[in-house]
């Protein structure tokens, strides 16, 4: 039985550990005693580790056959590097800001497979692009609309974070890169708002976020690509107000003789309001649209997902869609369905014949169902 060490016992990390436990020996590592206690109650092995320290990461994964990374994004790159230096294969969902290919030489030198950005988005939409790219003659356009939202809309933000809230704020501040006419174009985050209707959900608003990530580098032949995040109408303006007023700034300022960054204050105030309490229900919505050419004719295909909180297991939809994509890829690796060495963004996985079918079927077994049209 393979030993999988999950780094991070948060909402998504915990869901992944529980999902993997029947088939693998699973150990969860985190510095939070409370989070580890929850994992222990679920019958999982735990170990306390300060995952912000590379040497602690290496110690935590020393006896692992495979590592799953589920730390916040700002820790992700250093954690992934430490795992690879320890000689362990990795499947990661931390969505770090740094260029993942900076770790490619290290991974190849160690003869390791390291799959990054392996969640719902980035993640599934990349896999779909990879799968379609080997079937169509040409992809001319890619668009992804995606968002995770609470079922109950609570004033003033009508939002709850299904993953690390600090990573949510990164979506509101990091410039968004698109590809238009073969050229990479940068827009401010939260720009180009658009109202869209989704059957069964109503009207949501979309806005630019930096979600293309590795696709810009790995698929330069696709002339038009964009990703937009979905929220309830009105959310954009609130976030723009906070950003433009300086509340997301990281540089420290003096306030009444105390030095503090505005972001530290903002997170201290916002995060309790955004934190999903036990039993809070959410949903995830995603629409992926590809256009291109196949055997001399123009083709268009759409993938839709609406996933909801699982009341039976008390698992959030964001944890399900993000985490179960990752665990499906873990199973794919364990079965020998993907063996490429080095850094692999999810689109590389999608290019492997049969990989997307395996992942989609694994998700469907857990009630995460994509429809095609």
Please indicate, yes or no, if residue 49 is contained in any of the structural domains.
yes
Please indicate, yes or no, if residue 251 is contained in any of the structural domains.
no
| Cα separation, 191 vs 212, whole angstroms | 15
- 226 and 366: one domain? no
How high is the pLDDT of residue 328?
98
Please indicate, yes or no, if residue 257 is contained in any of the structural domains.
no
How high is the pLDDT of residue 164?
66
In this prediction the pTM is 0.93
Nearest to 148 by CA among 342, 295, 368, 356: 368
| Cα separation, 125 vs 77, whole angstroms | 22
- 286 and 360: one domain? no
Please indicate, yes or no, if residue 262 is contained in any of the structural domains.
no
- 130 and 208: one domain? yes
CB-facing half-sphere around the CA of 337: CA atoms within 13 A: 19
- 181 and 114: one domain? no
Considering its fold, how many domains does the chain have in total?
2
- 226 and 355: one domain? no
- 46 and 117: one domain? yes
Structural contact between residues 4 and 22, judged by C-beta atoms closer than 8 angstroms:
no
Burial class (CB in 10 A: 0-12, 13-18, 19+), 133: buried
| Cα separation, 51 vs 36, whole angstroms | 13
Please indicate, yes or no, if residue 151 is contained in any of the structural domains.
yes
Please indicate, yes or no, if residue 244 is contained in any of the structural domains.
no
- 156 and 25: one domain? no
How high is the pLDDT of residue 124?
97
Transcribe 284-341 into DSSP letters: EEEEEEEEEEETTEEEEEEEEEEEE-BTTTTB-HHHHHHHHHHHHHHHHHHTTS----
Please indicate, yes or no, if residue 248 is contained in any of the structural domains.
no
- 144 and 106: one domain? no
* Cα 240 versus chain centre, distance: 23
Q: Which residues in the chain land under pLDDT 50? A: none
Looking up residue 182, the CATH number of its domain turns out to be 3.30.360.10
Helix (H, G, I), strand (E, B) or coil at 105: helix
- 84 and 193: one domain? no
- 50 and 136: one domain? no
- 112 and 132: one domain? no
How high is the pLDDT of residue 279?
86
Structural contact between residues 348 and 218, judged by C-beta atoms closer than 8 angstroms:
yes
End position of a domain, from candidates 308, 327, 351: 308
Burial class (CB in 10 A: 0-12, 13-18, 19+), 72: buried
- 10 and 106: one domain? yes
How high is the pLDDT of residue 275?
86
Q: Of all residues in the chain, what percent carry a pLDDT higher than 90?
A: 90
How high is the pLDDT of residue 155?
92
Please indicate, yes or no, if residue 245 is contained in any of the structural domains.
no
Domain that holds residue 68: 3-121+318-372
Burial class (CB in 10 A: 0-12, 13-18, 19+), 93: buried
Q: What is the pLDDT of residues 155-174, one digit of tens each?
A: 999 998 866 677 788 889 98
């Amino acid at each position: 039985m393979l030993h999988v060490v999950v780094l991070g016992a948060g909402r998504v990390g915990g869901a992944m550990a529980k999902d993997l436990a029947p088939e693998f020996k699973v150990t969860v590592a985190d510095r939070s005693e409370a989070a580890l206690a929850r994992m222990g109650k679920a019958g999982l092995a735990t170990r306390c580790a300060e995952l912000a320290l590379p040497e602690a990461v290496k110690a935590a994964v020393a006896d692992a056959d495979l590592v799953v990374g589920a730390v916040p994004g700002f820790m992700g790159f250093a954690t992934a590097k430490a795992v690879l230096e320890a000689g362990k294969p990795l499947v990661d969902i931390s969505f770090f800001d740094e260029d993942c290919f900076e770790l490619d030489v290290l991974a190849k030198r160690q003869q390791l497979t390291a799959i990054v950005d392996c969640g719902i988005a980035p993640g599934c939409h990349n896999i779909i692009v990879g799968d379609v790219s080997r079937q169509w003659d040409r992809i001319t356009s890619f668009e992804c609309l995606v968002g995770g939202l609470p079922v109950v809309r609570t004033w003033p933000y009508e939002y709850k974070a299904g993953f690390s809230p600090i990573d949510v704020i990164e979506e509101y501040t990091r410039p968004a890169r698109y590809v238009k006419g073969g050229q990479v174009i940068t827009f401010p985050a939260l720009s180009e708002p658009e109202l869209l209707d989704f059957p069964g959900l109503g009207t949501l608003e979309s806005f630019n976020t930096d979600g293309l990530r590795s696709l810009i580098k790995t698929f330069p032949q696709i002339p038009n690509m964009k990703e937009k995040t979905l929220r309830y109408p009105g959310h954009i303006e609130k976030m723009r107000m906070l950003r433009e007023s300086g509340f997301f700034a990281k540089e420290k300022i003096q306030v009444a003789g105390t030095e503090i960054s505005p972001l530290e204050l903002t997170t201290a105030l916002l995060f309790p309001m955004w934190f999903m309490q036990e039993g809070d229900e959410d949903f995830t919505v995603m629409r992926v649209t590809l256009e291109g050419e196949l055997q001399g004719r123009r083709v268009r295909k759409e993938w839709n997902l609406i996933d909801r909180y699982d009341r039976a297991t008390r698992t959030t939809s964001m944890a399900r869609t993000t985490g179960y994509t990752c665990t499906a890829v873990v199973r794919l690796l364990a079965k020998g369905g993907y063996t490429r060495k080095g850094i692999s963004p999810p689109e590389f996985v999608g290019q492997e014949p049969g990989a997307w079918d395996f992942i989609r079927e694994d998700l469907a077994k857990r009630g995460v169902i994509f429809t095609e049209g």
